[in-house]
Chain A
Amino acid sequence: MSVVERILRRAVMEIAPGSIVNLGIGLPTQVMHYLPDDFDVQIHSENGILGAWKQAAPEQMDPFLIDAAGAYVSLREGASLFDSAVSFAMIRRARLDLTMIGAFEVDAHGNLANWKIPGKFSPGIGGAMELAQKTQRIVVLTTHTDKHGKPKILKTCRLPLTAKACVSRIISDLAVMDVTDQGLVVREKLVEISDADLQALTEAELTFATEGGTA
């Protein structure tokens, strides 16, 4: 199983039946493909869709219907389409139950940085600040380290923040971690790895509360 697949397979388990969920650009939008076709959920896409669903069949693909990442989505029964002001009213009025979002950096306080790497790669804020500040629950999906092997899960974020203390849970390719008042608590390991090895790949201090102890 690839690193990405491992994250997505674990991430899909976060979606509770009956919920309204936003899936951010990058890894999160791919979570939709792991949902069973009859799963009771409404996917919100900030470009103005409630009830977005998996890519339509080729002959039904609509160039005027994409999700926020540009993928050609379909609509479920009961879907609605609306303008960007309504879409973000829905977000700021906290009608979304869950947002899964990517990160450049995330830290032990639940701070999130995902919009700006000064002078290098600044994709911009998009919907991230409002989603992060106003969604009931924020789950970050990220590789545990960056492409150079450096930790992305830090003591304190160094990049400009998207929002403070907004993250509830982090799902990496190695572990599931909750943000608590006592810092990051490892709930599950997704691979065979010792506590010490996982800590070595994580700048933030980890405490371990995994079922069945060290893998």
Chain B
Amino acid sequence: MQQSNKRGGWAGKILKIDLTAGKVVEEPVTDELAYSFLGGRGFDAKFLWDMVRPGIDPLAPEAVLTLGAGLLTGTVYPECGRVNVGCLSPLTGIYGFGNSGGWWPTRLKAAGYDHIIITGRSPKPVYVLINDDGVEIKDAGDIWGKTTTETEKILRDKHGRDVRVAGIGPAGENLVRTATTIVDASYSAHGGSGAVWGSKNLKAIAVTGTKKIHIHDPQTFYDLAKQEIKRIRECTRQGEAEYKKYGTLILYKWLPKYVGHGADKRYLPPEEMDHLQPENLFEKYCVGYHAACSNCQENCTYLWEVNVGPYAGTRTGALRFGSTDYMTMGMGNANTSSMVKFHSLCNQYGLCGKMAATALYFALELYERGILTKEDTDGIEIKAGDHEAIIELTHMIALRQGFGKILGEGPGNMARFIKDAYPYRHGVYGRIYTALLPFITSTRGTDHLGCLETFTATPETRNKLHENLVKIYPDLGPPMEPGIQGKTRLMFWEEHHKTVLDCMGRCFIAGGGISGCPSIGYELDEDPMGEGQARLLTILTGREFTGAEILKAGERIFNLERAFNVRQGAGRESDMAAPADQNIQFDWLALGKVDGNIMRQYLDQYYETRGWDKDGVPTRAKLEELGLGYVADELEANRPYPPYQGPPLWPIDKYPSGGERTKW
């Protein structure tokens, strides 16, 4: 314990809340946990592995919800105000995590906690208030059923202006599987976690605090933070300026053909794309300035208002490419005011825009194929470009009414309810469509954030990266090979790097994302081993870190997440993209067609590079090298696990439903 007091960076305490008994326990962050798993996503992986038994219902009381601020969150280091939300996902049935920005994460650290672990189920709706006086579980009778903005407003009025709120909206209360955790009314974490909050009868967590975090060398750390701000401002990488101006909406310009690679048909005619260009969106709907996450220099989110048309009066924040691409480009909808409305509804109801829109997109595909008919969809005709149907169905998803009950089960689970739809399902583990090969090897199902940059980087960047990596991994193989092989060899590095960024609470935009302003403190190809990052952590924590050690931690966490999925039945068979996605035309990357055979080759290569066996299970040698011997023991003792079948679903009428339609 004495050692822990001297350790910088971590707040040092984990808060365990058992809602069944209404009990709150504090536990110290041990050195072993801190140095092996860093924080944020790493702690999530460790706690979920330890506490979740395989095969349980993600919506049962024994399921676990974890929320954790990153290691650098709550410090003065810029662009690190993020929280990682982890659970056994009710959407996918495997490991589920999501990373969200906002002001809430820094308040969690200021309240003196690194992580919150929630178990059990409260007999009645509650919210949790954390402040300097302690932790209190309070009755949420008056906020249950309210939208996320109303909840934030009510709790801030009640408990003071420094209070920030993370919670769910009506969709989470209705156990919609595409519901998400909404942080500060505008920022969304993992699609699926919202239903876990709802199943625990937990509405929100309101946090404030004035606890000091120990920093080993505060002055040097402060200077480094200022230096980093300077670097971000002077960053002239390609796209940085546009990104700062438009946020992720710039992708409407950069990726006009991106959506729907798994689908046979693209619905939006190219000439309609003009409406979706960020300049046009900004001119029409952006009212004034943007709101940024805590301690951010990029400010990629704005506030939006629709003044005319059927959706007049819609006001929302943080409009994103990711939450709206499927319902506009995907579904042939060029009505941009419906896009703002859809985003607003997702924020207010606490829906994951990406997952809800993917479900709608899949419904459109099924409707076109004649598998869904008007009778199935309560008389709503789902056709390309019909924005009214999209908005109506979004209300129905959140309140679990009519056809919305089935849409709310998520894009993957829908196929289990609709007759004949199963062969047409997309992606892996019931998440989004597969648009790139690396999407399928993420630990949370099809995921566009796992590994994108290395795969799409120029050969020069990749060669440079390879040069640096081969110093640490001598048996990496030659740098460039035709096809996907050369890329696969470098991908695992990016996956570790991004895992570490999630542990730090660092934003991908700053840390190697679309804007290309990468890594903590340094450029990706110049410092791929993260020596700058190691120096920063040494100054913060007072313990000597090396770059290789930090990357190793990333690998440890990634392997633990994979082991969690293996326990849920994941393996080679379920890792393959659904048959409908096994014939992808990569026209925006000029990669040509990728079929099932290439995917199989890719998986073989990927498993081999990672040191996993043919079935995608981490080997004992690999796990022991990472200090995860206990994981190998458990896997060996209990394998084979029942194969992955998706999450256990409830009978469609057993879920709670209803609520008020939000007028915003």
Determine if chain A interacts with chain B: no
